Chains A and B, each alone.
Chain A
Amino acid sequence: MERQNEVLDNVIIKFAGDSGDGMQLTGTQFTNTAALFGNDLSTFPDFPAEIRAPQGTLAGVSGYQLHFGSVEIFTPGDSCDVLVVMNAAALKANLRNLRKGGIIIANTDGFDPKNLRLAGIPEGQNALEDGSLENYRVIKMDVTKMTRAALAESGMGTKEIDRAKNMFVLGFLYWMYNRPMEHTEKFLNEKFGKKPEILKANLDVLRAGYNFAETREEFTTRYKIGPAKMQPGTYRNIMGNQATAMGLIAASRKSGLQLFCGTYPITPASDILHELSRHKNFGVKTFQAEDEIAAICSTIGASFGGSLGVTTSSGPGIALKTEAMGLALMLELPLVIVNVQRGGPSTGLPTKTEQSDLLQAVYGRNGESPIPVIAAATPSDCFHMAYEACRIALTSMTPVILLTDGYIANGAEPWQFPNSSDLAEIKVNFAKASGDGTKFLPYKRDELLSRPWAIPGTKDLEHRIGGLEKQHETGNISYDPANHEFMVRMREAKVDKIADYIPDIVPEVGTNKGKMLVLGWGSTFGAIKSSVLKARAQGYDVSHAHLRYIKPFPKNLGELLYNFEHVLIPELNCGQLIKVIRDKYLIPAKGLNKVQGLPFSAEEIFSKIEETLK
């Protein structure tokens, strides 16, 4: 049969279906296969808020977007080229994000009268039949029927058989994009090795999907997306939360400290706990506490005892931890607090993304309570920033807040992972008794203004610490007014001093000087980078710099900002970083803000650049 092979440099596929349809698995499998093939990629899963939302409804639609290519990829993409829909609700929820001329692969069984009704589609309408999709290329197939046919002889029940539907779609797409199936076959073997019947069923349906495409003449085009020209090296695929967990473990290993994570389940942070609890052979102790407060307090206890203490949460949980964060900063114990931000306020939008906890992190405590704040930019950057959070906490004896968000926590990208030997040193020296009978001073400071860490079990260093204001050096309770101001300023100075050992900010794209700087922080990285590259290609004098260290800022930030005529700060909030920047550097920075629980598209940022510079 004559088949065309069309070469593309990048494709965006969205897999969408009912939460029971296995779209996350299908997406992840396709992603891993693309990664192993050498494509650059970026993904964005999009879960329904309810665990068991009613089947077939809009609320129950679960999606997974994958952007992969032979070119550099920075975001999961704005609008998709291919939309795979398992039912009518999935089509209805996602059609507006499909580009004109894009491909729809639809499971016709999911468009029966019942599904149409559940999706809230008026009686008598069915997009698959009524011509309303004429601007798209529609591939219709009855996945349910074909899956059942493929397993007719299996002796399995219909319910079990239907669970393999997603493999049919995956097989079909592997054919369409010229992908080998080995990776998924290997995965299924590992997953169902102990259940040979289910393993065989999944493998059969996967192949049935592939063969279906191969044998039907109507599918005349296959697509080729070559490997990306990425920096030479060895890569793996990684998700943000997983990277955060690994960064923490790496810091524990490099510092020689036991990792203790006291935490309480909360979306979208729980996967960090799940990942950490799998690595007990690294000496990691995880403690699922009774509430958010106990989570951080148990961690403070562990830090007092000499562990690398970490607590993970999201906005509402962070709010509950606030008082204890104040205690940790007063005690001057190392502690890492991870906030995987979600849409807020209150319980807000648990499964959606936002960057609206920045001011909470920087200012949200009683009293003068400076805590360093850093933020990860991409899924793999979570590794480096989690490692940095630990390094700062241990170097300066301070709690540190690490901000990530739902978008990068659940997103994935290829990662050129480091060798453990390449990671920055983290030196920890517990205090030892001087031996000369001089009294131990728990709040005596070194050149970084950091205090000694004397852990219980150390002879002759018995001492008491607490949340009350303490006297300089001795740590005894003190209500002396002058001492209080001295200590307040001392704690602030200690945090400011961190700027001495964090890296300068260097533009990601563009130059150190020019007409416009787009300054970002956190997960807007990919969208800003893509838009700035596009604008530069069109001749605009614009650069992109991305803040990873927010408190304190890198030392050269002011100089960089003053070198540009315009500073644009895109944020997924109503303008938070911009307040801190304006306050500190007194520049007329402009904001670009979006608070919809969704990431920026590169197009949105590009339009703003164009509008300002035209």
Chain B
Amino acid sequence: MENPNIPVEKFTAKDLTTDQEVRWCPGCGDYSILKQAQTVIPDLGIARENIVIISGIGCSSRFPYYMETYGMHSIHGRATAIASGLKASRPDLSIWIVTGDGDGLSIGGNHTIHLLRRNFDVNVLLFNNEIYGLTKGQYSPTSEEGKVTKSTPMGSVDHPFNPIALCMGADATFVARSMDRDPKHLQSILKRANEHRGASFVEIYQNCNVFNDGAFEVFTEKSSKKNETLFMESGKPLIFGENSDKGIKLDGFTPVVVNLGEGVSANDCWIHDERDRVKAGILSRFFDNPKNPNHLPRPFGVFYVEDRGCYEEKLQQQLTEAKSKKGDGDLDALLRGRETWTIN
């Protein structure tokens, strides 16, 4: 357990690298995410031995091997379930779950939503590359309809998940999106996720340059990024565009794009409020295909934050209460039970 009176021993990004050779494909977006995590984590004030990274199966799930902390590379889809038990039993640990769109939304979708509603104080980093990379290129639950892959030669007929909306629906208390190609933004979101007391869900757009190259390029490439993305900051108007010349306004419950200048100023736009559940719900639905005309930009940043008690704290409180009411358990009294009889 961490003693608040003893300062945490400092460590650097270098101390977080392991002796294992990193085995992702050259150019994979995972490298950037690893680097941002290694950059941010030493500054969080957490002792290295109290950090645990748990992953499932998939390319992203190799992550723990490259971090010199405690780690577990588990089985497909179950990182969230394993982390739930670890956090429930060891509230003192800082737990990071690394999962992907297949791992966390397909085979492990059930555990993801339950972890969020229970609100364990852990961080879920979902690397979304909209493809199955490790199994060499089948469509995933976030692949767009019509996607042609090895398992869908005529195009996928599956309607994709909208991960942010799914998490809002599961009553997550911290919901954010970032991307591999924006190191500064990703670092700031990782910090925010760690600060939040409760389950923090971070969707990270990650390019799989081997099986789904360019899936997010409209959001990441310089030429289109400004027009296609909306970087949300709490208390600030929702503005985007090449010259920050476009904004979002609400017409009733319907978001509309307005051009700034023409009698509309930034202050007339929707002011982002991370604590507004209804508005976060609307933002989560900014999910149009960028190819559609009149589509809304894709939001990045923190959609929603809420303070709600954490599962592990409430569980611990019940134990404390039971002990103060009944006294520390007496094993012999338990074995004896309420009624006994003696034979001589």
A residues lining the B interface (CB < 8 Å): 32, 35-38, 183, 227-228, 230-238, 246, 249-250, 253, 258, 260, 262, 279-285, 287, 289-291, 293-294, 297-302, 304-307, 309, 323-324, 326-327, 331, 417-420, 456-468, 476-477
Q: Which of A290, A420, A460 contacts B331 (CB 8 A)?
A: A420
User: Given A279-B334, A467-B73, does the pair A307, B89 have CB atoms closer than 8 Å?
Assistant: yes
Within 8 A of A (CB), among B58-77: 64-65, 67-75
Nearest CB of A to B21, in Å = 10
Chain B contact-residue range equals: 35 or more
B262 interfacial by beta-carbon distance below 8 Å:
no
**Which A residues lie within 8 Å of B339 (CB)?**
32, 35-36, 183, 236-237
Given contacts A231-B343, A456-B49, whether A467 and B75 have CB atoms under 8 Å apart is yes
A256 CB to closest chain B CB, in angstroms?
A: 12
CA distance A250 to B72 in the complex (A): 29
Q: How far apart are the CA atoms of A260 and B315 in the complex, in Å?
A: 12
Dominant secondary structure at the A interface: mixed
- Residues of chain A within 8 A (CB-CB) of B332 are 419-420
Contact B49 A458 (CB under 8 A): yes
Give min CB distance, A26 to chain B, whole Å: 18
* Contacts A297-B78, A457-B90 given; does A309 touch B335 at CB 8 Å: no
Kindly list 7 other residue pairs between chains A and B, CB separation below 8 angstroms, not including A305-B86, A307-B90, A459-B49: A237-B337, A297-B75, A300-B74, A301-B82, A327-B74, A417-B335, A464-B18
Which B residue's beta carbon lies closest to that of A186?
B339
B93 contact set on A, CB distance < 8 A = 305, 456-457
Query: In chain A, what residue has the closest Cβ to B318?
Result: A280
User: In the complex, are the beta carbons of B111 and A294 less than 8 A apart?
Assistant: yes
Q: Does B26 touch A at the CB level, under 8 Å?
A: no
Among A249, A304, A307, point to the contact of B329 (Cβ < 8 A): A249
Which residues from A are CB-within-8-Å of B68? 462
Q: Which residues of B contact A38 (CB under 8 A)?
A: 341, 343
Is there an interface contact between A281 and B84, defined as CB atoms closer than 8 Å? no
Interface residue? B177 (CB, 8 A): no
Contact A309 B343 (CB under 8 A): no
Q: B342 and A285: CB pair below 8 A?
A: no
Chain A residues with CB under 8 A of B83: 301
> Do B86 and A304 touch (CB < 8 A)?
yes
Q: Which of B124-132, B142-150, B183-191, B319-327 contacts A (4 or more CB under 8 A)?
A: B319-327
Residue of A nearest to B311 (CB): A287
Assembled-state Cα–Cα distance A231/B344 (Å)? 8
Nearest chain B residue, comparing its CB with the CB of A477: B65
Known: A35-B341, A327-B74, A327-B75. A293 touches B88 (CB 8 A): no
Contact A302 B86 (CB under 8 A): yes
Partner of A466, one of B73, B86, B344: B73
Contact in complex: B90, A305 (CB < 8 Å): yes
Q: Does B272 contact A (CB under 8 A)?
A: no
**Known A282-B334, A305-B86: A468·B54 in contact at CB below 8 Å:** no
Tell me whether A323 and B75 are in contact (CB under 8 A): yes
B84 lies within 8 A of A287 (CB): yes
B residues apposed to A, CB below 8 Å:
1, 18, 20, 47-52, 54, 64-65, 67-75, 78, 81-90, 92-93, 110-111, 114, 315, 318-319, 321-323, 325-329, 331-332, 334-337, 339-344
CB neighbours of A36 from chain B (8 A)? 339, 341
> Which of B1, B48, B86 has most A Cβ within 10 Å?
B86
| B329–A290 CB distance below 8 A | no
Contact (A309, B85) CB under 8 Å given A35-B341, A417-B336, A420-B332: yes
Residues of B within 8 A of A230 (CB): 343
Contacts of A324 in B (CB 8 A): 75, 78
Could you tell me if B331 and A235 are in contact, using CB atoms closer than 8 angstroms?
A: no
Contacts of B81 in A (CB 8 A): 289-290, 293-294, 297-298, 301
A287 to chain B: which residues have CB within 8 Å?
84-85, 88, 315
Chain A residues in 8 Å Cβ range of B334: 246, 249-250, 279, 282
Chain B residue numbers with a CB within 8 Å of A253 are 329, 331
Q: Please report the C-alpha to C-alpha distance between residue A327 and residue B322 in the assembled complex, in whole angstroms.
A: 34
Residues of A within 8 A of B326 (CB): 281
Query: In the complex, A203→B65 CA distance in Å?
Result: 67
10 contacts between A and B (CB under 8 A): A232-B342, A281-B326, A289-B114, A294-B114, A297-B84, A301-B54, A304-B86, A417-B340, A464-B64, A477-B65
For the complex formed, measure the closest distance between the CB of B167 and the CB atoms of chain A, giving whole angstroms.
16
Given A301-B81, A456-B70, A464-B64, are A281 and B86 also a contact pair (CB < 8 Å)?
Answer: no
- Check B72–A466 contact: CB distance below 8 A: yes
Residue in contact with B114 in the complex, picked from A262, A290, A327, CB distance below 8 Å = A290
Minimal Cβ-Cβ distance residue in A for B78: A297
Cβ contact of B340, chosen from A236, A304, A419, cutoff 8 A: A236
Q: Is the CB of A249 within 8 A of B52?
A: no
Which residue on chain B has the smallest CB distance to residue A245? B334
CB neighbours (8 Å) of A238 from chain B are 337
When chains A and B are docked, how far (Å) is the Cα of A464 from the Cα of B334?
Answer: 39
**Contact indicator B49/A260 (Cβ below 8 Å):** no
3 A-B pairs with the lowest CB-CB distances in the bound complex, closest first: A298-B85, A466-B73, A282-B329
Bound together, the chains give a CA A238 to CA B75 distance in angstroms of: 39
Shortest Cβ gap from A387 to chain B (Å) = 11
A234 touches B342 (CB 8 A): yes
When distances are taken between beta carbons in the complex, the residues of chain B under 8 Å from A233 are: 342-343
Q: How far is the CB of B330 from chain A (nearest CB, A)?
A: 9
Known: A232-B344, A260-B89, A467-B75. A283 touches B319 (CB 8 A): yes
CA distance A541 to B327 in the complex (A): 55
Name which residue of chain A comes closest to B66, CB basis: A464
Known: A281-B326, A294-B110. A462 touches B85 (CB 8 A): no
Whether A302 and B88, one on each chain, are in contact in the complex, defined by CB atoms closer than 8 angstroms, is: yes
